[in-house]
Amino acid sequence: MGREAVVRGEFHVSNVDRKALLDRDLSRMQALYMEGRSDEITLHKYTNSYMLYLLGYFSLEMIYITATIIHTRLLPFWAFDIKAQARQHGLDVNDEIDLEIHAIYENVDDHIVHGSLAIFIIAFAVTLWRAFYEATIDLVVVTTPIPYWILPLVIGLLFPLGYSGLLITVGDDGERDTTMATSITEQAADHGHEDILVLVGDKHVDPVSDALEAQGWSVTRERSAHPIPRLSRFLWESNNTER
């Protein structure tokens, strides 16, 4: 038989898909490959945009860490250590198949880098200016009791996280998907893995699967069962259908 891979999508702060990925006959499986990278942070670009991007990345990592702490300490019945569970089943685990964080930034077009930064700066400036004249937030014909100064405050606090997320989402030209697939193929060849599990963010399922198939793998695709990715897929498919 040829090389076979099960590629599962997930919502990163939830354990729903992690549990589902291992809830199968694992007797033939040899390894688990997970979206991730090393802990190395490169400070070779001393620019405001790059530092803001890093702040956003650190903010996202704090969200992931906080979710893990909540699961393990406050909601232990929901906790699930997929790496430990996979190793208990005799699987090798590799969670460094993605581009490094600086490489992701370097792949983003300069127009997107500066355009995204301009969007957030303009949004903050406009809402801050209007906060001096508007008492509360009005939604078209509906008046709310929410103070208008909440808007520039929220934009300011979420500036780095939003900026980093926008660069990673809008600026992604598919390089990460190709890198993950190639990394999986190369490392599987080095370790003799022919039957594997792959866990990636839900939006990476199809492009990573396509790249793996192009590299000779037989792929089973499993999209995330979490409500948020499912809603996102529904809205995306509905929008494409209308077009």
Name which of 225, 13, 197 is nearest 97 in CA terms: 197
Residue 205: the pLDDT is 97
Above 90 in pLDDT, residue 78?
A: no
Centroid of chain to Cα 26: 26
Q: Contact at 8 Å (CB) between 97 and 5?
A: no
Enclosing domain of residue 185: 4-41+80-99+173-242
Query: Rounded mean pLDDT of 213-220?
Result: 97
Residue 48: inside a domain: no
Rounded to 10°, the helix 110-131/150-170 angle is 170
Question: 239 pLDDT band (50/70/90 cuts)?
Answer: low
Centroid of chain to Cα 193: 25
**How many domains are there within the chain?**
1
Identity of the residue numbered 20: A
Above 90 in pLDDT, residue 179?
A: yes
Residue 94: inside a domain: yes
Look up the pTM and report it: 0.86
Residue 215: inside a domain: yes
Question: 242 pLDDT band (50/70/90 cuts)?
Answer: low
Question: 117 pLDDT band (50/70/90 cuts)?
Answer: very high
Residue 188: inside a domain: yes
Rounded CA gap, 210 and 185, in Å?
13
Structure tokens at 173: 């030209």
Cβ-Cβ contacts under 8 Å for 128 (sequence gap 6 or more): 152
Residue 9: inside a domain: yes
User: What percentage of the chain reaches a pLDDT higher than 90?
Assistant: 65
Q: How many CA atoms lie within 13 A of 81 on its CB side?
A: 10
Residue 220: inside a domain: yes
Residue 212: inside a domain: yes
Residue 76: the pLDDT is 76
Query: Rounded mean pLDDT of 47-54?
Result: 91
Above 90 in pLDDT, residue 236?
A: no
- For residue 192, the domain's CATH number is 3.40.1010
